[in-house]
């Protein structure tokens, strides 16, 4: 019986609130562990491809990539009746996970005006959001999830006492939500930084405020750029141009200071 069955039973008064909380945390921990496994898989593939260890993957700071967790749960819930038919499961997983990746890319671009990944260089891609190669890999990943990862995680979670799982689940949930909020706030604040000072007078005060904001946000912003090297080029170019503007302001201020000194020296000589 899956999570949604328990929710229905609870609504009609069949099980206690404690059991509902347990099932919610059970589902979340499955999502959390699957997201971590996805992170490990992506780090491994990228490290092999780049011939060096690449730790910085994913949208969030922690070692987990939510889209993998969502993909696993979607596959298990939507395709449950096809578990005994590997071929059908393979092709349906391709459809489900490709739709999820396309939708995620579209939503993130609408939210942040940034394209976080781009498959335009790959053959048989759709708007650069999904491509045939990745979709086929999703199909194989679906088989691995259903026949290996799902039994492994389920066996692991079933051995944990209910109360312990609830406590650990709540801790992980707080960590995950904090990470999510901090990352979103960083992206939004960086966008505001670029917009707030664009076109304003190049005064010393403005320059100092800009530098302060850039320094405060540089770690998370640079982490995101490294994690998604194919992020929309226009936005990265705008940020680089913005930093160049700050440097030009500094140079102009130094030139003005030199001119003032020269004028003072000339007056002193007279």
Tokens of 81: 């009746």
Q: With a cut of 50, say whether residue 207 has pLDDT above it.
A: no
| Residues in Cβ contact with 221 at an 8 Å cutoff, skipping those fewer than 6 apart | 186, 187, 190, 239
Contact 170, 162 (CB under 8 A): no
Split at pLDDT 50, 70, 90, the class of 143 is very high
User: How many C-alpha atoms does 243 have within 13 Å on its Cβ side?
Assistant: 11
User: How many C-alpha atoms does 248 have within 13 Å on its Cβ side?
Assistant: 8
pTM value? 0.67
Segment 210-263, tens digit of pLDDT:
345 445 555 556 666 666 665 555 455 555 665 666 566 666 666 666 666 566
Q: How far apart are CA 56 and CA 15, in angstroms?
A: 43
Contact 26, 13 (CB under 8 A): no
Domain ranges in the chain?
3-176, 182-269
Question: Which DSSP symbol is given to 149?
Answer: I
In degrees, rounded to 5, the angle at the alpha carbon of residue 207 between the alpha carbons of residues 202 and 209 is 130
Split at pLDDT 50, 70, 90, the class of 190 is low
Q: How far apart are CA 161 and CA 252, in angstroms?
A: 66
Handedness of CA 208, 212, 214, 218 (dihedral sign): positive
Contact 20, 10 (CB under 8 A): yes
Segment 25-76, tens digit of pLDDT:
999 999 999 999 999 988 898 888 888 887 777 777 788 889 899 999 999 9
């Amino acid at each position: 019986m899956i999570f949604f069955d328990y929710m229905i039973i609870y609504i009609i008064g069949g099980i206690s609130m404690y059991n509902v909380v347990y099932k919610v945390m059970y589902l979340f921990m499955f999502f959390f562990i699957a997201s971590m496994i996805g992170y490990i898989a992506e780090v491994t593939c990228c490290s092999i491809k780049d011939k060096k260890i690449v730790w910085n993957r994913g949208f969030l700071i922690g070692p987990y990539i939510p889209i993998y967790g969502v993909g696993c749960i979607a596959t298990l819930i939507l395709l449950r009746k096809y578990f005994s038919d590997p071929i059908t499961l393979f092709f349906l997983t391709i459809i489900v996970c490709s739709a999820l990746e396309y939708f995620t890319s579209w939503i993130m671009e609408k939210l942040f005006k940034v394209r976080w990944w781009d498959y335009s260089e790959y053959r048989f891609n759709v708007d650069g959001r999904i491509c045939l190669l990745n979709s086929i890999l999703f199909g194989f990943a679906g088989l691995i999830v259903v026949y290996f990862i799902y039994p492994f995680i389920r066996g692991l979670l079933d051995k944990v006492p209910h109360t312990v799982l609830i406590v650990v689940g709540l801790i992980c949930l707080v960590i995950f939500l904090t990470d999510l909020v901090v990352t979103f706030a960083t992206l939004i604040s960086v966008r505001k930084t670029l917009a707030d000072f664009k076109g304003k007078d190049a005064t010393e005060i403005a320059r100092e405020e800009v530098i302060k904001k850039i320094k405060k946000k540089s770690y998370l912003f640079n982490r995101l750029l490294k994690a998604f090297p194919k992020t929309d080029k226009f936005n990265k170019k705008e940020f680089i141009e913005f930093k160049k503007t700050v440097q030009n302001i500094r140079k102009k201020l130094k030139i003005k200071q030199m001119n003032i000194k020269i004028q003072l020296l000339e007056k002193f000589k007279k």
